[in-house]
A = this chain, B = another copy of it.
């Protein structure tokens, strides 16, 4: 029996939709699964292989889409590091509950042995802060009409949640679950991409506009979020043996064609995405008694899928 499983059912997969008698007043919203099943091939986008990071962990593969429109210098630097295999053998060194999983060079954790830092190769050690970018009406942008608690305007720029401030002519990627950012020191020019983190808790939106956000995890998020939390200050692992060694990080463009991931991302300007957001905004299936009537930008999931498994 399914008794008490249905917390789940109501939220993530399929409750059978009843027949809709009146299109203007649906008795039930279709489930995400149903909506995705009806999506059209042209509603899906294949990320540019130049923007796709493939991180191999002992637990599995993590795919990260980079956002060069929002942090071009940082993304270029990360591409260089991936190209030169800088990340191979570095570690996940920090998992702070309800905040971030961070990976990089554990020698940063050792105050006295700076000489052991892995050389950055052709990559730059310092970059100008790219915390926001100039507002550009030509960038893809699908507004979320619900508004936002923190930003004047929010929406989605292809695969990324975005905040905008027309008055100040700025836009930026928002710190939602699964977003990837660049660790830095107090000095704003100390970010390079050699230390990266992914958000694994409640969206830390206070970080917005204070740090360079470079991308979003498309697949394998569970390998970053489902790790034991570090017990040291700030969630750093206290013992070296607790750290998780990164086997490799490659740019998909650097991989042979037959080894590239076949991931696709639902277009934010597609009808299916609009329907998904609408269903999330107002759950009208049998489980929900009171639809929220709103959805916040970090509660919207932009679906990604394995194209090979789909077609």
Q: Is A295's CB under 8 angstroms from B206's CB?
A: yes
Q: Is B94's CB under 8 angstroms from A4's CB?
A: no
Q: Is B97's CB under 8 angstroms from A292's CB?
A: no
C-alpha spacing A205/B206, complex, angstroms: 19
C-alpha spacing A5/B229, complex, angstroms: 16
Residue of B nearest to A59 (CB): B228
In the complex, whether A214 has a CB less than 8 A from a CB of chain B is no
Say yes or no: A108-B3 contact (C-beta < 8 A), given A188-B289, A208-B292, A228-B226.
yes
Say yes or no: A229-B235 contact (C-beta < 8 A), given A1-B108, A98-B177, A288-B206.
no
Which residues of chain B are near A102, meaning CB under 8 Å? 7-8
Q: Is A4's CB under 8 angstroms from B287's CB?
A: no
C-alpha spacing A114/B227, complex, angstroms: 34
C-alpha spacing A3/B296, complex, angstroms: 34
Of B4, B190, B201, B233, which is within 8 A of A190 by CB?
B4
Q: Is B234's CB under 8 angstroms from A292's CB?
A: no
C-alpha spacing A8/B227, complex, angstroms: 18
Q: How many copies does the complex hold?
A: 2
In the complex, whether A255 has a CB less than 8 A from a CB of chain B is no
C-alpha spacing A177/B96, complex, angstroms: 14
Residue of B nearest to A225 (CB): B97
In the complex, whether A294 has a CB less than 8 A from a CB of chain B is yes
Say yes or no: A299-B204 contact (C-beta < 8 A), given A222-B97, A289-B210, A294-B150.
yes
In the complex, whether A194 has a CB less than 8 A from a CB of chain B is yes
Which residues of chain B are near A298, meaning CB under 8 Å? 202
Q: Is A207's CB under 8 angstroms from B11's CB?
A: yes
C-alpha spacing A101/B162, complex, angstroms: 29
Q: Is A299's CB under 8 angstroms from B7's CB?
A: no
Q: Is A195's CB under 8 angstroms from B4's CB?
A: yes
C-alpha spacing A222/B200, complex, angstroms: 12
Of B12, B205, B211, which is within 8 A of A99 by CB?
B12
- A residues engaging B (CB < 8 A)? 1-13, 15, 94-100, 102, 104, 108-109, 111, 114, 129, 131, 147-150, 176-178, 181, 183-186, 188, 190-191, 194-195, 197, 201-211, 221-222, 225-229, 233-236, 280, 283, 286-292, 294-296, 298-299
A-B contact pairs, 19 of them (CB 8 A): A1-B108, A4-B108, A5-B109, A7-B195, A11-B207, A12-B96, A12-B234, A13-B234, A98-B221, A129-B289, A131-B290, A150-B294, A202-B203, A203-B299, A205-B296, A206-B283, A206-B291, A209-B289, A210-B290
